[in-house]
Amino acid sequence: MASLKRSVDSDPLAANISNKIYVRSTKSGKVQKIVREVYLRQDIPCSSRLCQRCQTVAPKDASGKLIPFVLSDSPAGTKVFPQGHYLVPDTNAFLTAMDLFEQDSAFYDVIVLQIVLEELRNRSLPLYNRLISLTKSEDKRFYVFFNEFRLETHVPRLEGETVNDRNDRAVRKAVAWYGEHLARIKGKDVPAIVMLSNDRDNLRKAKQEGINACSLADYVKQLKDGEKLLDMIPETQDQDNIKEKRPGDNLYPEYFSMSKMMTGVKNNLLHQGIFNVSPYNYLEGSIRVPAFPKALLILGRENINRAVDGDLVVVEVLPKDQWKEPSTQVIEEDAITKNENPDAEESDDFVSEKERKALQEEVKRTHSKTTEGHAQPTARVVGVIKRNWRQYVGHIDQSSVSQSAQQGRKQDSVFVIPMDKKIPKIRLRTRQVSELLGKRILVTIDAWDRSSRHPSGHFVRSLGELETKAAETEALLLEYDVQYRPFPKTVLDCLPKEGHDWKVPQSLEDPGWKDRQDLRDLLICSIDPIGCQDIDDALHSRPLPNGNFEVGVHIADVSHFVKPGNAMDAEASIRGTTVYLVDKRIDMLPMLLGTDLCSLKPYVERYAFSVIWEMTPDADVVGSRFTKSVIKSREAFSYEQAQLRVDDSSQQDDLTKSIRTLLDLSKKLKQKRLDAGALSLSSPEVKVQMESETSDPIDVKTKVHLDTMSLVEEFMLLANTSVARRIYEAFPQTAILRRHGAPPKTNFDELANQLKVKRGLDLSVESSRALADSLDRCVDEKEPFFNTLVRIMATRCMMSAEYFCSGTQAYPEFRHYGLASEIYTHFTSPIRRYADLMAHRQLAAAIEYEAIHPSTRSRGKLEAVCKNINVRHRNAQLAGRASIAYYVGQALRGKATEEDGFVMKIFSNGFVVLVPRFGIESLIRLRDLAEVEPQAEFDAETYTLQTSGSREVKVELFQKVRVRVTDQKDETTGKRGVKMELVRTY
Amino acid sequence: MPLDTSTYGLALLRVDGRRWNELRRIYAQIRTQAAADGSSYLEMGHTKVMCVVTGPSEPGPRRGAGISSAGGAGGGGGGAGGQSKDAEVVVNIVIAGFSSVDRKRRGRSDKRTLEMQSTLANTLAATLHTHLFPHSQITISLHVLSQDGSLLAALINAATLACVDAGIPMTDYVTACTAGSTSTYAANDEGADPLLDLNHQEEQELPGLTVATLGESDRVVALVCESRVQISRLEGMLAVGVDGCKQVREILDQVIKAQGQKMILEGTVDKGTGLNDMDLD
């Protein structure tokens, strides 16, 4: 450190001291009065490159470094301010139009006032974070001016003044100060300081005080491409007047006040939870609250009362006479429970146990009665605690567009239909209707007034033509919140400088070789799907003199390249996983690492992290060790190649022999796993074949299972389990592990009953072993697919596996139900999963290869990481599936094929058919069966649907049916999807 | 609600508008209680403490609450403490219920308070010339009126002032302050700046330590670090802390000299009686 002495001229006693006094209320409802000191100073620079004076007082950090000045010396001008200008937006401007500020075409040289930043943070944390990242971007030139700490711009609150008025005054004062400050620069045309605000009162006062001030709309109009940007300004502000004029015709009931809701929730009169919309019926929602075991139903527009899927809402249970008879359309309720999000946050512990129990009993009683045909508790939304609005992808509803709007440039209201069926139509005002028609567009919701049937929003950007590959892919990525932007420069800077020329150092003295074992002479190979570029894992085996085998799993040493805490690590931890779409891969790590430097490519030396076991010929592990290593893979096989090689008895070279050994051992390992009760589950998997030139989908193939696949799988499972034990031993509190909870028995009730009634089969679910065995017994000689069907259905009854930090669960909870393993983690794919990377770091520390990095052992951090990667992992899966579904639809486009399918779900008004050939399932409704909807009789006891009238057909559960598969564009969502028609039953 | 400590990097300003190397305002007074042997009142920002020193005097009947220096163990030390060759330093801290945002009653057996009492007792016992007063006891009572971070440092400073006021011979001023670092432990930011004199919010969010030094020297007499921080950052924090202690000494020295001058002017003490060398500018 250069010098830690204080400079003499900044004596704190000379500083002016003020106090900031404010009142805050805590979660538990306490009101606290906080008094904070504020030291006012005169050495906070204006950060304009024009200003010489501020350069002299600019602050230095402890190592004597200056923060460079941000604001340009020749900022862009507008029509009104040709000499150039700096912008000073108020809080409202950021709150309503953050999208605008992120534009590339305008909004440079912005002064963000401290008071604005503060207010923004209190109002919306995501927006605050977006603004912070803007201030960090070099080319946007956003400067945070701490106006509250500068003596001249500090504004004490006057008596009787509201906080908002005081803050507005502070903004105006800062604008005025900037104006005067810059005016003192001699000899140059100083830029104008322009305040941006949408608050009329504030603008008026600014005009009075002689400050340049514009509303967002006025300002944007002065810009070159203003027309387009204009749409991004939310229009709710303009409506202030209109709303005042007619307060009478409100469609929705008013929300309760926050305090009323809080008191209600505390006293257990109201309930708080996350609002979920049924995917089959947008007018039916449900909310799971801690007080009741089952979700409460919320039916109808009025009761939903402007809640949008995902919002944190407060509901009131409706009187008993309004409880709804369970509809025969079981379809909705079923779907709800399937999509239930159990993450009910902020459960209130202050509810008296007695009261809760009483109410619970009440609901329980009713719940149990529902099976006998009684009413089910319903509720209505009385307020929203927190909106969970994001940006939605959708398209403009053609029918909502008026003729005139298609030509003119007049602002017009249209409806946007979101891709996500759970989101209501969004009203959008735009001037570019004609351009946006037929495009995928991104919109956000701004508000939902009582007087408006639909929420109103504004346009963010266009993704491109509907049904074009680029637009649909981007839409999919946005819907599943996949981070697909190119890696920023800061991340790329973390890559090795040598780029693709990076090599394992020749000299064994190189620090890279420290504690690394030389395994280059081993016959290592990798086996992966065809065309795999990011090769995570490679294997070897060799006989040992004592008759045992040495087996090694070598995993790409990603942690060597991605150091904890740097920008690349941060980016990877946000992305969490690589997302595989049919035609695209969104990498977690930059290409250079993923497909080259880390990838265990054949014929070149690579760093690896090896797990090496000694195994008996019966595949019992005698000993295991972990080491960082250098390997040289002899060959990269595809599953098919490897299989051919193993099967070809003329191949007797050492490499082939070692693969045979591995295969042999893997079969034994698998048997052991199955004996221990591991489940072999199933999900319909298909592969879309693309034309190589145009990459248009041409055909769909079901995936074939090869022995070599389970070879790789078994050793990866073994490696993961071994590593999990080791890191748990080293870090009992902070090891990153993966668990799979045992599913509640009730999950299987329906399936067990179905099997019993339809096939006379018993499904026992006491343990994973029992379940595995009874699944094995579920066979139908005539129909080999039946077993797979049952397995698919059983898989849907399971919980999803999750990452967790070992300190958060008791040891018995670590269990991985599906794999029947006591402890498990992910270690073998660090190139594409962040969890594996963390496991690598922890293992490296456990074997004392390197010191543990604080972030890898701070529990809070790890928990946050786990939470994020769990979400990312799930989204990646959903996005992958959605992508396959889209391409299956594309492949089927214009074709109509007849396929065999199986009935996997049956309702009173339709049934769901799974077509294994395409891995798709679809609902066939009664009204799809014939022109006139046939009458139907549904027997819930025997899961049979007998139709009569226009078409007579009898559909049973598990039945094999012949369906015609065509593609169809869903008019409401604009999604191309698969449509099935029943041809005949077998 | 104001911003948090993560915004430091934006303009090198802390949550209350200070730079990394600035102390808060320190205001101190001595001889605030005329009846006491020695007394002081000290403010470091919004941390406000009062100190009263009684003694050296005959050890009274032992009370369980205070933590003493001699004989090590506090409470049930067998009553032999008062008979030792050195004076015993007994420290008693009372944290007023109204001193923090939430009104909270702290019992006498509050672990944090006990910890601070023993740190203080040991620190002062090392500096006060206790061997001059055998078989006696020096009682230091501290009252915390308001808390806004750096509490232990404020208590040490107030106790030093009160001991000077009580006329107890001591080696030099013991002055203390806190030091921290601008980013959290987990952030592992290599370029984190050290911070001087943490307020309550910074103490909550950032790693920090309390350091006390002797007079103008670099000799550290107390060092308390209860948070996790990278070893590489510790050196910088310590350097800033020690530097801060010197500034605090400067301020305390002025307070005492001003008081001395006032007493001479008022005639409370004669200028001649051993105070010839006192600087009266």
pLDDT tens for A49-63 read: 888 888 888 888 888
SS (H, E, C) A413-476: EEEEEECCCCCCCEEEEECCHHHHCCEEEEEEEEECCCCCCCCEEEEEEEEEECCCHHHHHHHH
Q: Which residues of A touch B238 (CB under 8 A)?
A: none
B-contacting residues of A 43-62, CB under 8 Å? 44, 59-62
pTM above threshold 0.80:
no
Using a CB–CB cut-off of 8 Å, the residues of B that contact A are: 1-3, 7, 10-13, 15-25, 45-46, 101-102, 148, 185-189, 191, 193-194, 199, 201, 228, 230, 235-236, 239-240, 243, 247
- Any B CB within 8 A of A141 CB: no
- The pLDDT, as a whole number, for residue A558 is 92
CA nearest neighbour of A561 among A869, A839, A837, A851: A837
Please compute the mean of the pLDDT values over residues A341-359 and round it to a whole number. 36
Set of chain A residues whose Cβ sits within 8 Å of the Cβ of B13: 44, 59, 146, 149
Determine the pLDDT at residue A257: 86
Smallest CA–CA separation between B249 and chain A, in Å? 15
The answer to which of A323-332, A385-394, A639-648, A925-934 has the lowest mean pLDDT is A323-332
Residue A249: per-residue pLDDT: 61
pLDDT reading at A245 higher than 70: no
What does the pLDDT read at residue A347?
31
Cα-Cα-Cα-Cα dihedral sign, residues B64, B69, B70, B71: positive
Among the partner-chain residues A35, A59, A122, the one whose CB lies closest to the CB of B19 is A59
DSSP A836: H
Q: Which residues of A touch B193 (CB under 8 A)?
A: 61-63
The DSSP string of A595-647 is IIISS--BTSEEEEEEEEEEE-TT--EEEEEEEEEEEEEEEEEEHHHHHHHHH
First to last CA, chain B: 46
Q: Which of B20, B46, B236 sits opposite A37 (nearest CB)?
A: B46
A118·B21 Cβ contact <8 A: no
Using a CB–CB cutoff of 8 Å, tell me whether A604 touches chain B: no
A26-35 long-range contacts, Cβ below 8 Å, gap at least 24?
Answer: A28/A350, A29/A262, A29/A266, A30/B102, A32/B101, A32/B102, A33/B101, A34/B101, A35/B46
Q: What amino acid occupies position A360?
A: Q
Least confident of A338-342, A425-429, A881-885: A338-342
Among chain B residues, the shortest Cα distance to A33 is held by B101
Contact B188 A565 (CB under 8 A): yes
Average pLDDT over residues A234-251: 51
Instruction: Place B62 in a pLDDT band, splitting at 50, 70 and 90.
Output: low
Coil, strand, or helix at residue A242? helix
Taking 3-state DSSP, the helix, strand and coil percentages for chain B, each rounded to the nearest 5, stand at: 30, 25, 45
Three-state DSSP class for A296? Answer: strand
User: Which whole number is the average pLDDT over A955-980?
Assistant: 76
Q: Across the interface, which of B17, B23, B193 has its CB nearest the CB of A149?
A: B17
A37 lies within 8 A of chain B by CB: yes
In the predicted model, is pLDDT for residue A162 greater than 50? yes
Q: Which of B18, B19, B188 sits opposite A853 (nearest CB)?
A: B188
Q: Suggest the residue from B4, B18, B228 to mutate for an interface test with chain A (most A CBs closer than 10 A).
A: B18
For A1, nearest residue in chain B (alpha carbons): B236
E strand spans, A204-305: 213-214, 270-277, 284-287, 296-299
Contact A59 B1 (CB under 8 A): no
Burial (Cβ within 10 Å: 0-12, 13-18, ≥19) of residue A54: middle
Domain that holds residue B153: 13-267
pLDDT value for A402: 64
Q: What is the pLDDT of residue A976?
A: 66
A114 touches chain B (CB under 8 A): yes
Residue in A809, A806, A796 with CA at minimum distance from that of residue A835: A806
Question: How far, rounded to the nearest angstrom, does the alpha carbon of residue B27 sit from its chain's CA centroid?
Answer: 13
pLDDT at B79: 33
pLDDT at residue A745 in the model: 78
Q: How many pairs of residues across A and B have Cβ atoms under 8 Å apart?
A: 116
Chain B contact present for A855, CB below 8 A: yes
Residue B67's pLDDT is: 58
Cβ neighbors of A656 (< 8 A, separation 6 or more) are: A645, A646
Average confidence score pLDDT of chain A:
81
Least confident of A195-209, A444-458, B63-77: B63-77
The two three-digit tokens of residue A791, written as one number: 């397995």
- Residue A408's pLDDT is what? 54
pLDDT at A687 over 70: yes
Identify which of A487, A480, A429, A439 has the alpha carbon closest to the alpha carbon of residue A461: A439
Minimum distance, in Å, between the CA of residue B257 and any CA atom of chain A: 18
- CA-nearest residue to A150 within chain B is B17
Q: Do A12 and B18 touch (CB under 8 A)?
A: yes
B11, B23, B45: residue with CB nearest A67: B11
At B171, the pLDDT band (50, 70, 90 cuts) reads very high
| Shortest CA gap B138–chain A (Å) | 34
Identify whether B5 is part of a domain: no
Query: By the 8 A CB rule, do A701 and A689 touch?
Result: yes
Report CA B67 to chain centroid distance, whole Å: 16
Residue in chain A closest to B25 (alpha carbons) equals A13
Helix, coil or strand: residue A315: strand
The dihedrals phi and psi of A876, each to the nearest 5 degrees, come to -65, -40
Interface touch B18/A39, C-beta < 8 Å: yes
Question: Which one-letter DSSP state was computed for residue A520?
Answer: T
- Across the interface, do B7 and A117 touch by the CB < 8 Å criterion? yes
Chain B residues with beta carbon closer than 8 angstroms to that of A564: 188
Q: How big is chain B, counted in residues? A: 281
Smallest Cα distance from B178 to chain A, Å: 15
pLDDT tens column, A496-508: 888 888 888 888 8
In 3D space, the residue among A858, A822, A820 whose CA is nearest the CA of residue A838 turns out to be: A858
Range in A674-688, A909-923, B71-85, B132-146 the model is least confident about: B71-85
* pLDDT higher than threshold 60 for residue B82: no
Least confident of A5-19, A338-352, A747-761: A338-352
A117 touches chain B (CB under 8 A): yes
How does residue A243 score in pLDDT terms, banded at 50, 70 and 90?
A: very low
* Interatomic CA distance for residues A111 and A129, integer angstroms: 16
| Least confident segment among A448-452, A728-732, A958-962 | A448-452
Q: Which residue has the higher pLDDT, A281 or B24?
A: B24
Residue A118 has its nearest CB partner, among B2, B17, B19, at B2
Residues B14-32 have pLDDT tens digits of: 988 888 889 999 999 999 9
Question: Highest mean pLDDT range out of A504-508, A883-887, B223-227, B264-268?
Answer: B223-227
Per-residue confidence (pLDDT) for residue A718, from 0 to 100: 93
Cross-chain Cβ contact B12/A33 below 8 Å: no
**If you average pLDDT over residues B158-183, what whole number do you get?**
93
Half-sphere exposure at residue A594, Cβ-oriented, CA atoms within 13 angstroms: 21
CATH code for position B238: 3.30.230.70
- A127 in reach of chain B (CB within 8 A): no
Distance of residue B21 Cα from the nearest chain A Cα, in angstroms: 6
- How many whole angstroms from its chain centre is CA A709? 29
Percentage of chain A surpassing pLDDT 70?
87
Q: Which two tokens stand for residue A323?
A: 């409880």
- Does A810 touch chain B if contact means CB atoms closer than 8 Å? no
Give the pLDDT of residue A959.
Answer: 86
* Residue with the larger pLDDT of the pair A911 and B44: B44
| Terminal CA-CA length for chain A | 83
B62 in a structural domain: yes
DSSP, res A71: B
Buried b (16+ CB within 10 A) or exposed e, A923-952: bbebeebeeebbebebeeeebbbebeeebe
Q: Does A8 touch chain B (CB under 8 A)?
A: no
Nearest residue, CB atoms, A62 vs list B2, B193, B199? B193
pLDDT band at A281 (very low <50, low <70, confident <90, very high): low
Would the CB atoms of B17 and A860 count as touching at under 8 Å? Answer: no
In a domain, B226, yes or no: yes
Maximum C-alpha span of chain A: 97
Amino acid at A265: V
Q: Does A146 touch chain B (CB under 8 A)?
A: yes
* CA torsion through residues A232, A238, A244, A249, sign: negative
Q: Which of A40, A67, A565 sits opposite B17 (nearest CB)?
A: A40
Mean pLDDT of A162-168: 89
Q: What is the ipTM of this complex?
A: 0.87
Compute how many other C-beta atoms are within 10 angstroms of the C-beta atom of residue A43: 17
How far apart CA B119 and CA B12 sit, in angstroms, is 33
B38-44 and A935-939 strand pairing: unpaired
pLDDT (mean) for A335-340 = 29
Q: Which of A178-192, A314-328, A821-835, B61-75 has the highest mean pLDDT?
A: A821-835
| Each residue's pLDDT tens digit, B226-253 | 888 888 889 999 999 999 999 999 999 9
Q: Is 60 exceeded by the pLDDT of residue A973? A: no
Radius of gyration of chain A (CA): 32
Confidence of residue A12 (pLDDT cuts 50, 70, 90): very low
**Residue B277 included in any domain:** no
Residue of A36, A65, A841 for testing the chain B interface, max B β-carbons within 10 Å: A36
A417-421, A464-468, A577-581, B266-270 — most confident range: A577-581
Tell whether A124 is within 8 A of chain B (Cβ): no
A530-564 confidence digits (pLDDT tens): 888 889 999 999 999 999 999 999 999 999 999 88
Residues of B in contact with A121 (CB under 8 A): 1, 3
Which among A15, A67, A858 has the least Cβ separation from residue B186?
A858
Q: Which residue has the higher pLDDT, A784 or B187?
A: A784
Contacts with A45 (C-beta within 8 Å, 6 or more apart), sequence order: A51, A54, A55, A57, A58, A59, A69
Other beta carbons within 10 Å of A59:
17
| Amino acid residing at A160 | G
Cβ neighbours of A144 in B, within 8 Å: 7, 10-11
Q: How far B47 CA sits from the closest chain A CA (Å)?
A: 11
For range A407-427, the mean pLDDT: 77
* Cβ contact, residue pair A4, B230, below 8 Å: no
Phi-psi region of A888 (alpha: psi -120 to 50; beta: other; left: phi over 0): alpha
List the one residue out of A43, A46, A42, A41 whose CA is nearest residue A181: A46
Question: How much is the pLDDT for A350?
Answer: 32
The pLDDT value given to residue A175: 92
Domains parsed from chain A with CATH numbers: 69-233 (3.40.50.1010), 250-343+371-466 (2.40.50.690), 489-735+821-876 (no CATH), 894-985 (2.40.50.140)
The total number of structural domains that make up chain B:
1
Q: How far apart are CA A370 and CA A378, in angstroms?
A: 13
